[in-house]
Amino acid sequence: MEFPARAIYGLDIETDTTIDGRDPLVARILSVAVATADRSTCVIFESHDEREMLESLNATLNALPAGMVATWNGSGFDLAFLMHRASVHNVVLDWQVTDSDRTSKYPPVLGTVLQGTLGPHRHVDVAYAFMEYATDNNVKWSLKPVARSLGMEPVEVDRANTHLLSREVLAEYVASDAVVTARLAEILKERITLWVD
Domains detected in the chain:
7-126+157-194 (3.30.420.10)
Instruction: Please state the rounded mean pLDDT for residues 139-145.
Output: 97
Whether pLDDT at 2 is above 90: no
How far, in Å, CA of 144 to CA of 181, rounded?
10
Exposure on the CB side of residue 18, measured as CA atoms within 13 A: 9
Instruction: Please state the rounded mean pLDDT for residues 11-22.
Output: 96
pLDDT tens figures, 156-179? 999 899 999 999 999 999 999 999
Query: What pLDDT sits at residue 190?
Result: 87
Whether pLDDT at 188 is above 80: yes
Instruction: Please state the rounded mean pLDDT for residues 52-61.
Output: 98
Instruction: Please state the rounded mean pLDDT for residues 78-85.
Output: 97
Compute the mean pLDDT over every residue in the chain, rounded to the nearest whole number: 95
Q: What are phi and psi of 110, to 5 degrees?
A: 55, 25
Query: What pLDDT sits at residue 95?
Result: 98
Buried-state track 109-145, b at ≥16 Cβ within 10 A, e below 16: beebbbbbbbbebbbbbbbbbbeeebeeeebebebbe
Q: Identify the CA nearest to 143 among candidates 157, 126, 159.
A: 126
Instruction: Please state the rounded mean pLDDT for residues 6-19.
Output: 95
Whether pLDDT at 20 is above 80: yes
Task: Report residue 1's pLDDT band, with 50, 70 and 90 as the boundaries.
Answer: very low
Q: Which residues contact 128 (CB under 8 A, 6 or more apart)?
A: 75, 102, 195
Task: Report residue 5's pLDDT band, with 50, 70 and 90 as the boundaries.
Answer: low
pLDDT tens figures, 88-139? 999 999 999 999 999 888 899 999 999 999 999 999 999 999 999 999 999 9
The model's pTM: 0.95
Instruction: Please state the rounded mean pLDDT for residues 150-155.
Output: 98
How far, in Å, CA of 92 to CA of 100, rounded?
21
